[in-house]
Each structure stands twice: as structure tokens, then as C-alpha cells.
Structure 1
Amino acid sequence: MLRHNLLLIYRNFKRFKSTFFINLLGLSTGLACTLLIYLWVKDELNVDSFFENDDRLYEIMEHRVKTDGIWTAYTTSGPTAETLVNEMPEVAYAAAVGRVGKSTVSVDDTNLREVGKPVGTDFFRIFSHTLLVGEKDKLLADKNSIVISDALAMRLFKTTENIIGKTIDLDHELQLHVSGIFKKMPGNASDQFDFVWSFEKFKEGKEWLTGWGSTSALTYVLLKKDASVAAFNEKIKDLVKKKTDNNVTHRTMFAKRYSEIYLYSKYENGVLVGGRITYVKLFSVIAVFILIIACINFMNLSTAKASRRIKEVGIKKAVGAGRRTLISQYLGESLLLSFLSLMVALLVVDIALPHFNTITNKSLTLDFDSNLILAFTGIALFTGIIAGSYPALYLSGFNPATVLKGKINTVVGELWARKGLVVFQFSLSVIFIVSVLVVYKQIVYVQSSNLGYNKDNILYFGREGKLWDAGTLESFLAELRNTPGVAGASTLNHDFTGHMSGTYGVKWEGKDPDDATEFENFTVNYDVIEMMNLKMAEGRTFSQQFGSDSSKIIFNEKAIAFMGLKDPIGKTVQLWGQDMQIVGVVKDFHYESLHENLKPVFFRLAPQDTHIVMTRLAAGREKETLDQIQKLYLKFNPGFIFEYTFLDAEYQAQYAAEQRVAILSKYFAGLAIFISCLGLFGLAAFTAERRLKEIGIRKVLGSSELGIIFLLSGDFTKMVVLAVVIAIPASYLLITYWLGGFAYRIPLTWWYFALGGLLALLTAWLTVGTQAIKAARVNPAKCLKDE
């Protein structure tokens, strides 16, 4: 019986070649999209979940109350980890981690810029990184030790053997000895680093890391197996208040599972509202919809061609075949086609994966382990059953006496179902088109918006080595400013691409004593405001012409409005207990992404407290200027590596997730439309074939070719127009939700929806039109020769 059914399936595929190839192409395209999204979603869901004690590993976070709401921060005070492990019985281990970034590591004449961070002694007890050499409880017992990855060991020593105890210079200042080697983290680790060293060593001489007033460290804890997270959070909620002399009440602590932070990281007013999980859900839905669109093609074409298989059904039923037998045959046909499509889809995925990895910034692979094989087989089975169930039930339900007479009583419900499926297909296509248009325009908007400063041709690099000496820094800046092609240079504490240094230590006359709003702190050298092309609303910038400006302060307009100051120039405020005179007000500018609203900002002059050197290059000669800057840098800082970042590139990186969504949406929208049009093409071809005699008669009676084209295209046009009407409100709701994540966004005008509908309609006309024109040009004599 199996062999017989397979033979029948083969003959049917061979008999209806066009339908077979349309279904194969549609299903394989839909499956390829689904499989790519599956690989991406699986990787996203597994980020940071590979640690041995994942269910007990938590990061300590803080809710900070401000007048305009609650801000949720990932930073804590330096003593938090030590306090938790000593005072909270629920905590097995705790570790503080400093935020440093890249540093120079050196062995003999080899100098490398690598990502490293200072960590607490119990770091490797909390995070189960694979240790190749060393014991996790002893790795950082010595403050002068360093633990490196196997990849860094190969770059520094060309081996991982016999390097324990060898010395590595950190920033040419600290001599640390290697105490262990860990295996480089897998690609699905959100925190990638090459070495760690002692937090105890790092905090030496840094008073701001020893008190509760500053929040410059990250804190991780491993809870005991029987610990209740809810009870633990209740106990640590007011810890900052208990540890501060002034009873700080605006900072409340809580623990969040570490592996959840990657996907669930977005808070609004202290409430978790999502994060990357939004895009995981979005693309999961897109995968399902694309698969459904492909299945709809199969259903529609299978039921549409039923009139050409009625005698097969009638004869089988007449000789005793039961409905169950026929259902199994047609479902088998669908499943076989689904698995053939899966084979084609796997080939497409293998070809497309490198490009897909480039877009998503991942390293996905087709490793056929048992889970992957099971998942792909399940998707193919699901597709085959969904696509074939309706045609199987439909075809097996024919009455043998009726069908052997060559007639099928077309049920109105069946026609409406088929049309409804086409409408559903194109509704999704229109939603995809509108979404792509709006996402593209929003990305263009955020990339081209006036930020209040000029980010073009600005580069910055860390202040390290000899540049920490004030006299050396000034000499370096003087020569840098005189370098041909350099339009400006200065130093500051952080770049213009996000919140880095906030304080609630600003006080003014009339301030609410309960207010804890953070002001962004830009600690700067001279000429920063001029170099960044920030505009002054009133007053002046810092200038050496007025003597020392160390007791002067400049605010942005948002800060002045927030403080309610009238005629602010010359007035005095307090910063960390010191009187500061307001000498200027800069116009508001965006130092964060356009996801965020404008916030209060101040500039204070303290060159000794700046951390990065920022330089503006003259346009048109960037390459030669960069070469000169590198030579100058190495002259002042021998043994260090000149590594820089362009500000505009860093700004664009803030929208990496949105840019990936825009690119992927464009591809998936195109494929959804392609699959929909495949089905429409097949239906149009079948309709034209079924109505050939009618067309012949109409032409004999004087109908023009244009009239025939309109006749054949009319029903399909109505279906697509209905799809547009349904899709517009649905796409409006979807896009409004997505744009809600931006504080500054484009207005939703009518033309996005009109253009989306028009594109779908034009695509449908082109698809149907090819078949309509072909049918309209047929010779009526050939249509009517058997009448």
C-alpha cells in the first residue's frame, strides 16, 4: 500500500508540474525563513543561560526615584558585594566588578589592547567559566594576580603551557602574575572579556569605590539553594538607606536573575516592560506568519485543482477505498512535499547563513545535533499537516456518484474560504510593507536628526600611560592642536553617546529636599563646548581669559528649567557641597539615544578628572591626519597602542538593534510578498485555464483583450483591496507600539499606509496580469475546437 501511494504521489507531482513547483518553491522559501529565525531565536533565548548555577545567579540592581519617575540602574556602590556576603545568610558568594573596558597588556615587546575588568575574589565561584589551569577559589587570592583567556595566552605567549607565574604588565603600570587560564566564553555570552584581575587591587586609592555615595561598580551574587529571591529582595531593599549617614531613601536594591537581563532589560518608571524579548517575539510571529502564508498557497492550489482529480477520487471510492485511506494518501502527498521543501530549505539556509550572521552579528551554524534535527523535523511535520489537512478532508469528502459524472458542486463556503485565505495572505504582506517603510524612515530620522552638536569627524581615545600626567597632557594637546588636519582637541570624562556619570549632588535655592533627580556630569577641559559645536543660549563658555574657572559651572536649558531659575547667569548653586557660579547655559543637546528624553546636564571644568581625548578632524584629509595623530600619540606614549573610535560610528551603534530589525524586516517582507504572489500566480493560471472556453466565447462575441484582462483580474483585485483595508488598522497598531520605544519619532502620516497598499496592489496586478494577458491572447478557435 505504501509503495502504491508513493507511486500515485509521484504521478500526481508529474501530472501537475506547475502546481508542484509553485508549492515546492513557496514551502521551501517559507521553511527557509522559519529555520533562519528559529536558529536566531534559539540563540537569543540561550544567551547567558549556560552557567552551571544559572537558577541561583543574580545581579544586584537599583531603582532610583526622581521627580519625573523611577530610573532603573545596573550599577551599585563598591561595598555592596562585601556587605551582602557578610550580612545576608541567603548569599553564598558575591563579587564586585569594575567597569573599565579595554586596557594595554604587555609581555616583553608584545603590546595588545584587550577587554579586561577587575573582579572580586569569588568571581569564578559565581560564574562557572571553564578553567583550563587554576583553582577557582585561589585564582584571585593574591591581589597581584591576573587570569587570562586561552585566546589571550596564545596571543601573548604563543602557548597555554607553563605560563603560570609569568608576568604581564597592565597599562605599563602594574606587574601582575598569571594565576590561571580560562576558556574563552562562547558566542552566546553577553559579557565578552579577555582577562580579569583583582578588584581589591583596582580600588586602591579610589575612595569613590569604598563608600556608598558613588555607584560605579557592578555586583553579582550566587544565592544558596534554599534561598527565596522574594524574601531576599525584601531584605536588601533599604540597604543603602541603612548604610548611609543621610538615610538615602531614593535608592532601593533588588536582585535580578542574570540570564534574564539580556532579554528583559527595559524598565519604565521602575516597571519591567521588555527589552530584546520584544524582537524575539516579533520575529517568532513573523516566522509563523510566513509559514502560514506558504501553507495557504498549498491549500488554495490543492483545492482549486480538485476538479482535475475528481475521477480519481470517485473510482477509488467506488472500488471500496474509505475516506480514511484517501485522507492518508493526500496527507502523505503533503508531508512528502513538505520534507522535499525542507531539504531545499536547508540548502538555502546553508547558503544564506553567512550573510544572515553578518546582519544579526552572530555566529549561527547548522550543527545537526539531536535537538536541531528534532526541531526541523517537527517544523516540517507541522507544515505538512497544516498545509495538507484541509485539501485532504476536502478531496476525500466528494460523493462518488457525483464525481464520476465529472461534476463538482462548488460550495459557496469553499470559495469564500479560498478567497479569505488570499485576503489573509495579502493582509500580512501589506502589514510587512508598511512596517518596513516606517522602520526605515524612523532609522533615517534618528540618524539624521539635529542632536544639538556636530558628531561628524570626531574621534576619541582613552587617556592612559603618560597622558595621565597633567603637564604631559597639556603638551600633547598643544602639539595635537597644531597638527595639520586637526580642527580641535580637548579632554572630557565621557563621550556623547549615553549616560555615564550622573549625580544628585546639585543643590539650589528652593530645591525640594526629597528630590533626587540625577544631573549628567560632563567633566571637561577647555574648548570642549566649542569643539563639539554646542550652542550657547546665554552666558559664556569656560575660558582662560577669565582666570580659573574651576568654581564655575554651565548648565543646559533643561537643567535651568528644571531648577526653575530665572536669569541664571551669575547665580550660585552647590555641587557636592562646593559653591559654583553659573556662567553659561548651553542649548539642549542629545547625549543619549533618541529613545530617551532630554535630561538635566552640567559642565564643570576639571582637566585632571577627564578620561578621554576627543579630536575633531578637518574634512577631506582624515587618513593623513590619523597617521600624524598616531605618530604623535606613540611619541608621548611609547609601548601603548593607538586605538580610537569615531563618535558618529558609536552613535549609530546605539541603534544596532533597530537597524537589524529594519534589514531583516525588509528581507522577510519581500519573501512574504514573493510567497503570496506565487500562490496568486498559481490561482490566476488555474482560473484562466478553467475559463478558457468562456474566454473563447467572449472573444467570438466581440470582447476585447483588455476587457478579458479586466474580467480575469477583477476578483483578485477585490481580494487585495479588502486585504489592504484590513491591514491598515492592524499595521497602525503594530507600528504605534514599536515607535512608542522612541522619545523622538516620526509622525505616522497616511502615505505610509497608502504606499504599502498600493505596492501590494501593483504587485498583485503584475502577478495576475501576466496570466490574464496570456489568456486574453489565446486563439478562440483553439479554446472551442472540442465543442
Structure 2
Amino acid sequence: MPKVMKNTNPPQLLLRFFRWFCDPYMAEHLEGDLLERFEKRQLERGSAKAKFLFAKDVLLLLRPGIVRSFKGYQKLNYYDMFKHNLIITLRSFVRHKSSFIINLLGLTTGLACVLLIYLWVNDELLVDGFHENKESLYHIMSNHTDASGTFTIKGTPGLLHEEIKTQVPEVQWAAVYTDPHEYTVSVSGSTPLSLKVQGRFANQEYLSAFSFPLKAGQSQSLLSTNYDALITESLAERLFPNQDALGQTIEWHFRGSKTEFKVSGVLENIPQNSSEQFELILPWNYFHDELITYKQWGNYYARQSVVIGPGSSAEVVGQKIDAIFKANLPDTRVELFLSPYTDLYLHGKFINGEQAGGRIESVRLLSFIALLILLIACINFINLTTARASQRMKEVGVKKSLGATRQSLAYQFLTESVLLCALATLLAFLLVFLLLPEFNHITQKNIRLVFSPQLLVAATVLLLVVGLLAGSYPALHLSRLKALLILKGFKATNNSSGIGRKALVVFQFALSTVLIVSVVVIFRQMELVQTKNLGYDRNNLIYFEREGQLTDQYEAFLAELKNLPGVENAAVSGFMVGGMNSTGGVGWKGKTDEDQIQFWEYNAGINSVELLGVEFLKGRGFSEEFKTNENGVIFNETAIKAMGMEDPIGKTVYHYTGQKQIVGVVKDFSIASIHKPAEPALFLYRPESTHFIMARINGEQTSTTLQQIEKLYSQFNPEFPFKPIFVDQDYQALYASEQRMAVLSRYSAILAILISCLGLFGLTAYTTEKRVKEISIRKVLGSGVWRIIVLLTGQFSILVGLGIIIALPLSYWAAQQWLSDFAYQIELKWWFFALAGLGTLLLAWLTVFGQTFKAARVNPATNLRNE
């Protein structure tokens, strides 16, 4: 019986290689010959010999005349075809004006929003990044633990500075300084001038640790004496116009004293991206020697930063600094540690001694909003692009029948998509340029549109990703269809593409609903911030610095101030929104080591507490009727509870300044913001140590009243500028970040819903255009206009409704997360979410209604006359 040979296929790798290098016009004939010879040899000589000879034939065909012209192919697709594709693209834009304009508007708006947020986020991330020592620059922080937990502050003992220099060799530079504070400086001469400026005290090493370049002066001698001063270039121009500021004398005013300092250096203006802005630096030694009277290791009046040497560990250096501190203050509950200086701006929030966010939360939130806006805009673009792609079937069929390859068609669709994205990007940059001044006003920034390589690369990547993503469906799907099937009437639209578009619409409106709920919640919380009873009356309450003659003659000034029309009451005060000083130096009978409490401390004068409008629960305030005010103290109710006192009036407490008797208890009032619950606080009768004069005005003629106060002020203090501050403005400043987020989120939500409705408008127009004959037939068969409108609207209503249902639990979770940062927060009510959902649905209906109503009213004969 003869042996049956088993047929095998030729080597597929070699066959693919042949198809790749062979000229397309010759490949079909040559491939047939190769396969016939392979089958014949396989029968005659066996499979192994046939495969060997097949490989030999393929390699012999690799010669000129048969190999395809790669040069000509590349030239055809990437050079000659580019001009053709560009013309086709422009014609397509003109032919489909509505979808082109909708795509362009939606994408331009979304990209402009993303670019604005990108500029803001980039500006935030660059804050304090200009310091040359930023990688090795650390700030010394202190964790204070008391009965309520652990809280973190930037303050450290001023005595620590000298110990670090001698005992920690890893530290290259040890800067000690104060926070910026507003001071009055003046210059004498033929035209005396007084200004309010932001100034600070610092040592010589401050300028070595931080990068604030010197414009004029000798760096070796800066701040070398107690009476040197450094001023910025802008302050030099204001104090000494058209003069050389070096060697000039300025007068620094503090309380009732006046000290002369000589300008030994002029700094370049502090960069906009510095977290701390100031115009004046005075010597630390003067501050420490002349102004600090309580020089103890338990007094945290200094701010200190260190630059550690190469190869040194910040953790080890921090441990050494903490050991020095504890050696000088045994049994303390305070711990010192190092934190990267450049982290403090964005990560300055600490909870229980651990870093827990800060402004970085706003950066993340706005970045997330930008991503949502971009997603919504891209969904519009992709939906309309894929929907319109099916209308170009005949174009694809004709081109393929004339010899167009799949690659050239894909290249055409991708070129069209990327070109539209490029045009949208250019318009977005123009829109950003126009909106940037208003955006800077909202964000309190000074951002400029600079076409840096980083920005251009980001914009290019963005437009390519969006363009390629949107053009991928027609490029990959339509280009692979057979010309014969297309020209015979094959429908390219399939269920998968329709389901995809529907899913994207659902996702789009879900995101829009989340943003709308966020706006409602943020608005209601900010409304609570504005209206919440803080425990004191901040309305029509002003204060100004007590300096110059007002240091000694404040009683005479107050007497005349109270007689001014429009002034209801006035007093000296140490109260300041956000707190000014705190102390743990309070003791009481029964206090244990576990009862260490930190109290906010306010100096007060006669009627200071009553002027604030706080409510007394027990006892009295500081009044002229009593001669024992100096020995009295007033606590808030949280402080009394913390000390465990049931009947506090008349009881004695031990303050670091001496024994005090409790004369009054007031209701809790907000020390800082409603981010925190009520904290222990006390008032001491120390009018000589109060920093401000505070007055309550009636608010009916605020401008006139302020003019009268300024006139009286100038009589007592002719050398000092009058600068009143409203307490409610200070309170609003505590929520500046939240207010900005409220405004930006409101604009973002408006943009999101507008872009979503724009896309829905385009899809509705496309759908009704495809169904015009169906609509006409329904009308002929008796369907009314409203029935057809409901039919067409119902499909989109279901999609929008599904998006709302998905969004509601997500928005509830997001709202809870944001509100958790507030000690006092609104209640999340059901109507917040119902309002957002109903508003989204109504906007979607209004968007769809115009198109469907127009389609339903068309005369059926118009659409069926050719049938």
C-alpha cells in the first residue's frame, strides 16, 4: 500500500517577508506561482525539501524590479497626500459646519479651562522653588502636646540658635528670624515721608540660607551691627526717589519709640513666588537684645531654618537639635523636628504632629476639576467625530476603489482630527490670554502666559492625545471595510459604536452633576461661614495700630474718639482674628501633669471684652468701677471646662505673670476659623501691652465716620499713616482659599454643563437628521408633534437620568470628604442632590427640545417626495 504524504503549509514567516518586500502589483501573480511550486515539490520530494526550496525561491526574488519602491510609497503617503488630506479636511469642515463649530467651541473651552488651571497649579508648585539651597533647606518645627492632643507650630526658642551653631557641625547655615509684620518707617528731611511696610528681623546667615539677591551693598557687612537695615529695591524707590539709598537713615517706629537704622544694603524685589513677602529686614540682635524681655527656653518667639551639609541626614540633625532643646528644658512636652522648607507652603497643615495636607489639597482638587472638564470636552469631540464618521462611507468606498490603501485613509482621518485639535488649542491660548487678567483677580495671583518649553510640550502632547483618540474610530474601523461592500450599501454603524456613544454621554452628565452638587455644597458652607454666630460681633468693628503718641496718650484719644458721631464705643485691645499669642503657663488648684493646656491669650483694657460683643455667662468684665482689674482674668467656657471648675468666679489661678483671680466667664467665641472647634482662651487686664485701638461704628455713614477718625488720628499722630482694618475682612481672609475654590468650582460647573449640553445638541442634531424619514412616516401614519418630540427626547432623557443616578452617591461622598475639614459644617440635605439632578435634566431637555421640535414640525412631503 503506497505511503500517503501529509500536506503542510509553506513557512508563514517567509511568506509574510515576501509580501512585505514584493511590489504590490506583482505580488499576487508571483505568490500564486510560489505556492504551486511548493505543493508540487511537496508531493514529489517531501515537506522538508519543499520548504527549503521555497525559502531559496523567496530569497532569489529579492532583487531590483520586484522589490517595492519604499521611497515612492513614503512620498505618496506622507508628503503628497498631506496636501490632499488637508484640502479634504477643510472641505469637510465647511460641509459639516454645525458639528465642526460644536466640536471647536467645546474643545476650545475645555482646553482653555485646563490651561488656566495648569498655569495656576504650576505657579503653586513653584512657590519657594527659587532658593538655591532648597534641597538642603529645612525649617525647625515644634510639636506641642497637651490634654487636647498635639499641635504643631513654626515657633522655636530664640536661645536655640547659638547652641545649634556650636553643637551641630552638620549645619552649614543657621537662620533665625521673625514672621513678616507691618511696621511704620519714615524718613526725615525737606519732605518727610511715613509708610506702612512689611518687615522682619533676621540674622546675617538668613541671606546665606535663603536666595534673596543683593542689588547694592557689601554682603560681608550686612546686618553686622544692631542698627543696620536692608530694604528692597521697590521700598528704596519710594523712600528715596532719585537717590542712592545706601548710607541713608530710616526711622523705625514701634509703640511709642523711634529708632534710627542705616541702610547697609538694597535687595532685589522679593520674587512673586516667595511664600513670604517683605520689604525690610532689621537685625535679629536688636530684636533679641532690645525687644524680647522673656528670654526663656519655653518662649517660642523665633522662626529658625537650617541648611545642612552634603551627605548629612535631616533626621539625625533634627534629633541633635531636639536633644539640645530638651537638655535646656527638661520634662518638656514639646518636641522639635525638621521639615523641608519648600514643603511648608503646600503641606503646611499638621494634625496630631503629622503632616496632613494644606494648600496641596486645593491643587489636587483643581487638577481633578481640570481633568473632569477635559474629559467632558473630549467625550463631546469623540462622540461627534464617530457619529459623523458613518456619513463618509461613500467617500471611503470611492477612494478604496480608486486604489487608496488602508494606511492612507487612516492617515487622512487622523490628520483631520489632529488638525481640529490644533486649531482648538490655538484658540484656547488666545482665550487664556484674554481671560488671564480676570483669572488673576479671582486667584490673587500675577500669572503671565509665557510660552515656555514645558508649556508647549504639554499642549502638544495634549492635542495629539485628544486628536489621535478621537480619530481612532474612523481611522481604524472605516478604513478596513471593503470597497465593494461599501458601494453596495453596507451600513458601517454597529451596535458597539452606538453603545459606546451612549456610555460616554452617561459618563459626561454624571461628571457634570457631581460638579453641580459640589457648587451647591460649597456655596451653602460658605454661606454658613458668613452667617455663623462666632460668639462675638465682627460687624462694623475696626481696629488700627496703637503707636506713636497713642502709646501714652491713648486715654485722651479714646475719650475724644467716643464723642465722634458714628462711633458707638472704643477701647484698647489685643484681640486679633486668628489669635496672636498662646501660653501654657497657667496653673490651677488640682492641676496634674496630664492637664497641660494651651490657652489663647489676649491683653485687654477697660470695656475691651464688652466691645467685642461676647456674652458673659458669669461675673463681669474689666471696668473702671473696680480697682482690682490688674489681678483679674476672664476665661471662656471651654477653658473652664478644661480646668474642671464648677464655680470658677473668685477662684485663683497661677499665671506666669503672677496670681490672678477669675472675675468673669464668657461664652465660647471663634478664635480662628470654623475649621477648628472652640479652644481655651483668656483675657488679661494689661492695657499697656495692647497693640490696637478698636472701635465699633454704626455702619450707616462708614466713609464719613472713617474720615472723622482719621482727622482725629492725625492730630495725635501726624507722622503716622492711618490704616484702619475691618475685623470682618480679617475673618474673610481666613477663608480666602475656600472662597477662591467656590468661585472657580462655580465657573467649572457652568463650563462642564455647557460643554455637555453642547455635545448633546450636536448628537441630537445628528440623530434627528438620520431619522427624518422615520419622523415623516410617523406623521403620515397619524403621530402628533408632541408624541414625536417625546419619542426623540426619551432616548437622551434615559441617558442623562442614568448619569444623574450614578453621580448622586459619588457627589455625596465627595461632599462629605470636603466638609470633614470643618468643625462646623452644614447638613447634607436631600434637596441639594435633587436640585442638581433636576437642573441637569432640565438643561438637557432644553438642549434637545429645540432640535426635536424643529424636526417634528417639518412637512412629511419635504422628506418623502423622492421615495
SS of the residue aligned with 1:580? Answer: strand
Between the aligned partners of 1:208 and 1:98, the Cα distance in structure 2 is 16
User: What's the CA shift for 1:208?
Assistant: 4.4
1:674 equivalenced with 2:757 (yes/no): no
Structure 1 partner of 2:562: 481
Distance in 2 separating the partners of 1:429 and 1:555: 49
Q: Per the alignment, in what secondary structure is the counterpart of residue 521 of structure 1?
A: strand
Which residue of the partner structure matches residue 162 of structure 1?
A: 244
Q: How many angstroms does 1:772 deviate by?
A: 0.7
Instruction: Indicate the larger mover: 397-406 or 671-680.
Output: 397-406
Q: Secondary structure at the match of 1:755?
A: helix
Tell me, in whole angstroms, the C-alpha distance in 2 between the residues paired with 1:391 and 1:578.
84
User: What's the counterpart of residue 234 of structure 1?
Assistant: 319
Give 1:677 deviation, angstroms.
0.8
Correspondence 1:329 to 2:409: no
**Contact 1:634 1:640 survives alignment (8 Å):** yes
Give yes or no for the alignment of 1:135 onto 2:218. Answer: yes
Note if contact 1:240-1:251 (Cα within 8 Å) is conserved in structure 2. Answer: no
Question: Residue in 2 aligned with 1:152?
Answer: 235
Letter in 2 for 1:107: V
Q: 2:89 aligns with which of 9, 20, 25?
A: 9
Cα displacement (A) at 1:409:
4.9
Matching residue of 2:638: 558
Question: Over residues 635-683 of structure 1, what are the superposed CA-to-partner deviations in whole Å (9 max), with x where a residue is unaligned?
Answer: 2222111111100111111111111101011111111111111110010
Shift of 1:207: 4.0
1:491-510 mapped onto 2 (5 Å cutoff): 491-495=572-576, 497-510=577-590
CA contact (8 A) 1:60 1:74 kept: yes
Which structure 2 residues correspond to residues 508-519 of structure 1 after superposition, within 5 A? Answer: 508-519=588-599
Match of 2:140 among 47, 55, 60: 60
8 Å CA contact 2:514, 2:810 repeated in 1: yes
SS at structure 2 position matched to 1:55: coil
Q: For residues 347 and 206 of structure 1, what CA distance do their matches in structure 2 show?
A: 54
8 Å Cα contact 2:385/2:470 also seen in 1: no
Q: In the alignment, what sits opposite 2:660?
A: 580
1:204 maps to which residue?
A: 289
Aligned AA (1:459): I
Is residue 298 from structure 1 mapped to residue 381 from structure 2 by the alignment? yes
Give the structure 1 partner of residue 792 of structure 2.
Answer: 712
State how 1:336-375 maps to structure 2 within 5 Å: 336-375=419-458
Q: Which secondary structure state, in structure 1, belongs to the residue aligned with residue 215 of structure 2? A: strand
**Is 1:421 equivalent to 2:501 in the alignment?**
no
RMSD over aligned Cα atoms: 1.5
Unaligned runs of at least 5 residues, structure 2: 1-80
Greater CA drift, 388-397 or 254-263: 388-397
Instruction: Quote the Cα distance in structure 2 between the aligned partners of 1:633 and 1:642.
Output: 7
Are the counterparts in 2 of residues 238 and 249 from structure 1 also a CA contact under 8 Å? Answer: no
* Helix, strand or coil at the partner of 1:380: helix
Q: Distance in 1 between matches of 2:833 and 2:844?
A: 17
TM-score by length of 1: 0.97
Tell me which stretches of 4 or more aligned residues in structure 1 moved more than 6 Å. Answer: none
CA separation of 1:487 and 1:10: change in aligned 2, threshold 3 A? same
Question: Which range moved further: 230-239 or 776-785?
Answer: 230-239
The question of whether the paired residues in 2 share the 8 Å contact of 1:125 and 1:136 is answered with no
CA shift, 1:390, in A, is 3.4
Residues in 1 aligned to 2:612 and 2:541: alpha-carbon distance in whole angstroms: 8
C-alpha distance after superposition, 1:21-50 (max 9, x if no partner): 111111111111011111111101001111
CA drift of 1:248 comes to 4.0
Structure 2 contact 252–261 (Cα < 8 Å) conserved: yes
Which digits, 9 at most, give the CA deviation of each residue in 1:538-560, with x for residues without a partner? 11112221212111111111111
5 Å matches for 1:584-663?
584-663=664-743
Q: Distance in 1 between matches of 2:627 and 2:816?
A: 53
Structure 1 residue 83 displacement after superposition: 2.2
Counterpart CA distance in 2 for 1:487 and 1:564 is 37
Deviation at 1:379, TM superposition (A): 2.4
- CA 1:33/1:780 → structure 2, altered by over 3 Å: closer, same or farther? same
Q: Report the 3-state secondary structure (helix = DSSP H, G, I; strand = E; otherwise coil) of the residue aligned with 2:142.
A: strand
Distance 2:111 2:326 in 1: 56
Of 395, 399, 407 in structure 1, the residue corresponding to residue 490 of structure 2 is 407
**Does structure 2 retain, via aligned residues, the 8 Å contact 1:499–1:592?**
yes
User: Per the alignment, in what secondary structure is the counterpart of residue 203 of structure 1?
Assistant: helix
Contact 1:165 1:177 survives alignment (8 Å):
yes
CA distance in 1, matches of 2:426, 2:203: 50
Query: Can you list the C-alpha shifts for 1:210-265, whole angstroms capped at 9, x where unaligned?
Result: 32121122112122122211222222234432112xx1431111111111111111
Give the CA deviation at 1:137: 3.4
Q: Equivalent residue for 1:214? A: 299
C-alpha separation in 1, matches of 2:134 and 2:364: 23
Shift of 1:478: 1.8
* Residue in structure 2 matching 1:528, options 608, 626, 629: 608
Picking from 665, 683, 703, the partner of 2:783 is: 703
By how many angstroms is 1:100 displaced? 5.5
**Counterpart pick for 1:545 among 610, 621, 625:** 625
Question: What is the match of residue 71 of structure 2?
Answer: none
8 Å CA contact retained: 1:122, 1:137 = no
Largest Rg, 1 or 2: 2
Give 1:60 deviation, angstroms. 1.1
1:490 aligns with one of 566, 571, 576: 571
Structure 2 residue 343 is matched with structure 1 residue 263:
no
The CA distance in 2 between the partners of 1:12 and 1:581, in whole Å, is 87
Partner of 1:441: 524
Match of 1:175 in 2: 260
Partner of 1:579, secondary structure, is strand
- Aligned partner of 1:286: which letter? I
Cα distance in 2 for residues equivalent to 1:480 and 1:777:
75
**Over residues 329-370 of structure 1, what are the superposed CA-to-partner deviations in whole Å (9 max), with x where a residue is unaligned?**
111111100110011111111111110000000011112233
- Name the structure 1 match of 2:811: 731
Matching residue of 1:87: 167
Indicate the SS of the match to 2:290.
coil
User: In percent, how many aligned pairs have the same letter?
Assistant: 45
Secondary structure class of the residue paired with 2:654:
strand
Aligned 1:50-129 pairs, distance under 5 A: 50-99=130-179, 101-108=181-188, 109-129=192-212
Give me the whole-angstrom Cα distance separating, in 2, the residues matched to 1:529 and 1:163.
Answer: 45
Of 224-233 and 708-717, more deviation after overlay is shown by: 224-233
Counterpart CA distance in 2 for 1:516 and 1:770 is 69
Larger deviation, residues 347-356 vs 81-90: 81-90
Residue in 1 aligned with 2:830?
A: 750
| Aligned positions, number | 781
494, 509, 513: which is aligned to 1:430?
A: 513
8 Å contact from structure 1 (residues 44, 280) kept in 2: yes
Aligned partners of 2:513 and 2:804 also within 8 Å: yes
Say if 1:88 and 1:580 are closer, same or farther in 2 by CA, change over 3 A.
same
User: What secondary structure sits across from 2:431 in the alignment?
Assistant: helix
Deviation string 1:735-771 (CA, Å, 9 cap, x unpaired) is 1111111111101111111111111100100001110
Q: Is the 8 A contact 1:303 1:394 kept in 2?
A: no
1:41 to 114, 121, 124: 121
Report the CA distance shift for 1:474/1:152 in structure 2 as closer, same or farther (over 3 A).
Answer: same
Question: d(CA) in 1 for partners of 2:323 and 2:470?
Answer: 57
Once the two structures are TM-superposed, the CA of residue 378 in structure 1 deviates from its matched residue by 2.5
| TM-score, normalisation: structure 2 | 0.88
The alpha carbon displacement at 1:600 in A equals 0.7
